[in-house]
Structure 1
Amino acid sequence: MSVTLEGNMLVTGSNRGIGLELVKQLAERTGAEAHIYASCREPEGTRAEALRELSTQHPGKITIIKLDTSDEDSICAAVRAVNEEIGAGGLNLLINNAAINKPARPAPLSATGKKDMMEVYETNVVGPFLLAKMFLPLLQRAAERFSPEDHEGDMMSCRRSAIINISTVISSVKKCPETFSMAPMYPYRTSKTALNMLTRCQAEDFRKHNILVTAIHPGWVCTDMGGEQAPLAAQDSVLGLLSVMSSLSNKDSGMFIDWQGNSIPW
């Protein structure tokens, strides 16, 4: 299966789990003109070994970028590095996937402190906020290169210029009564709810630039964070994510949906 995504794409938290699988499938399923910027905290470390191997399997298509989304200086350096490589093309797709969850499961209230709340918020909310802010000129550059005729009159798409914020169904305020007992996780839940509001704000703010912004729940995925009990394989989740991203348009900007395209209540 090919996906109708193209141009320059950046994925955060790409050394493992959903992020690594996103880079893998984007490299395999996009055209020759597509280029993936895969970011992680320690590109030379042991935890990025799989990502480095993947980049050697797709020479010239994957560029690994050092990026710690909790560090503003690191974000600035990553933006400069990407800007130097991209040139006139701009950034077509920013996927804010990097996230942390503290304290370790089951993360009851009794084990959760201020430091946990602040660290998770900084990575899961402030990081995507700064990335969108700093990459905005590159996202605008990509958006300005397309005319309405390029996308059959639909001004927004992931092929043109978009931000995808990876959220979670347990951030839904409405669904909290049915999901809380299985995953109390105060810092993670509240940070992702804030990420949803960030998505909504960015969608309104960036609409004038024809930049699409959508929050997507990838499903309960079997990863280090999702745990072994999760019913969904990363490969299947990402297949769905890329299919959904390929279909997004004006009406989806500012929305909260899942990996199968279903709407999730706020």
Structure 2
Amino acid sequence: MLNARSVLVTGSNRGIGLELIRQLVGKSNRPEWVFATCRDPEGPRAQDLKNLAAKHQGVKILQMDTSDPSSIKAAATKVTEKLQGIGLNLLINNAAIVRPGTLESETAEDMAEVYKTNLIGSMLVTQAFLPLLRKSCQESPQKGMSCSKAAIVNMSSEAGSITNLLAWKLGHVINYRCSKAALNMLTRCQALGFAEDKILSIALHPGWVQTDMGNTAVKAPLPVDASVGAILSTLGRLTEKDSGTFVNWEGAAIPW
């Protein structure tokens, strides 16, 4: 069972990110601190998140654009101040973008932009919050690894599975697929690199979810609340044997 004292979710103003915040604060053993980051907290697209935060103490909305290193550092400084000496248990790198296109129409600009958010952004966010994740490990009496202790969850996609290439016939989206395949490699490297710190690192496919992003070609099959409910249940079951793996919302292994 997930029992994290502090959680940070990037890209939390809509879709999966917003639903993660909603379900986290609705838990009976909800985290004391829930940090919700998005690019434009004052904009109209963040209104649902602001309404949610107004009803729940301990939800802190922070400006963070994962394609802007200075905003990542500023957010990390604020989270460190709010936590007042305690660590961060769970970092969910959820922020992602996609640009439409085919194999023939893909551009260098779109590829670079998507990589900057989906891959490089996730890497920089993890680097910025690594001291807080390490602090959680040092403070925790728990043995082994868990998402309640210290974990990095990189929201990936089966669209980036080199074996499966989910929904290829519905959309090539080369920039998105390549960025998620690269994110999977980053996850493997983080699992190896942070093993001695006892920080769990995992790549997670949330399913093909009914969100603004998921509904582009046809209506996605999985409701967002069902996806997120299963994700939180899965995160509560992960142990050190799962670190460095690629799983779906229900915890089933996905081939790289």
Query: Which residues of structure 2 form unaligned runs of 5+?
Result: none
Matches within 5 A, 1:187-226: 187-226=175-214
State the distance in 1 between where 2:31 and 2:220 align. Answer: 35
1:243 lines up with 2:233 in the alignment: yes
1:130-149 counterparts in 2 under 5 A? 130-147=124-141
Tell me the equivalent position of 2:85: 88
The CA deviation string for residues 184-210 of structure 1, in whole angstroms up to 9 with x for no partner, is 110000000000000000000001100
Aligned-pair distance for 1:32?
A: 5.4
Specify which of 249, 258, 266 is matched with residue 248 of structure 2: 258
Find the residue that maps to 2:221 and give its secondary structure: coil
The one of 138, 148, 155 aligned to 1:159: 148
Residue by residue over 1:96-152, the C-alpha shift from the partner in whole angstroms, topping out at 9 and shown as x without a partner, is 00000013xxx22233211000000000000010111111110000111112xx3xx
Q: Deviations over 1:7-36 (max 9, x none)?
A: 110000000000000000001015255210
Alpha-carbon distance, 1:52 to partner: 0.1
Q: Is the 8 A contact 2:25 2:31 kept in 1?
A: no
CA distance in 2, matches of 1:108, 1:209: 41
Cα deviation 1:170-223 (Å, max 9, x = unaligned): 1110113x6422221100000000000000000000011000000110000010
Q: Is the 8 Å Cα contact of residues 7 and 31 (structure 2) preserved in structure 1?
A: no
Stretches of structure 1 lacking an aligned partner (at least 5 in a row) = none
2:62 maps to what in 1? 65
Relative distance call for 1:212 and 1:189 in structure 2 (3 A) is same
Runs of 4+ more than 3 Å apart = none
CA distance in 2, matches of 1:122, 1:30: 37
- For 2:49 and 2:253, locate their aligned partners in 1 and report how far apart those are by CA, in whole Å: 32
Which residue pairs with 1:230 in the alignment? 220
2:3–2:30 contact (8 Å) kept in structure 1: no
1:175 paired with 2:164, answer yes
Q: Distance in 2 between matches of 1:27 and 1:195?
A: 28
Give the helix-richer structure, 1 or 2: 1
2:207 & 2:214 partners in 1: Cα distance?
9
Structure 1, residues 57-101: CA drift from partner, whole Å, max 9, x if none? 11x220001000000011111111111111221110000000000
SS of the aligned residue for 2:213 comes to: coil
* Residue in structure 2 matching 1:79, options 54, 76, 80: 76
Q: Does 1:24 align with 2:22?
A: yes
Equivalent residues, number:
254
Q: Is the 8 A contact 1:67 1:78 kept in 2?
A: yes
Q: Distance in 1 between matches of 2:208 and 2:167?
A: 12
In the alignment, what sits opposite 2:102?
108
User: What letter matches 1:239 in structure 2?
Assistant: G
**SS of equivalent residue, structure 1 residue 225:** coil
Distance (Å, rounded) in 2 between the aligned partners of 1:33 and 1:68: 24
Q: Give the secondary-structure state (helix, strand or coil) at the position aligned to 1:39.
A: strand
TM-score, length of structure 1 as denominator length: 0.93
Query: Percent identity among equivalent residues?
Result: 46
Q: What value does the CA root-mean-square deviation take over the aligned residues?
A: 1.2
Aligned to 1:34: 32
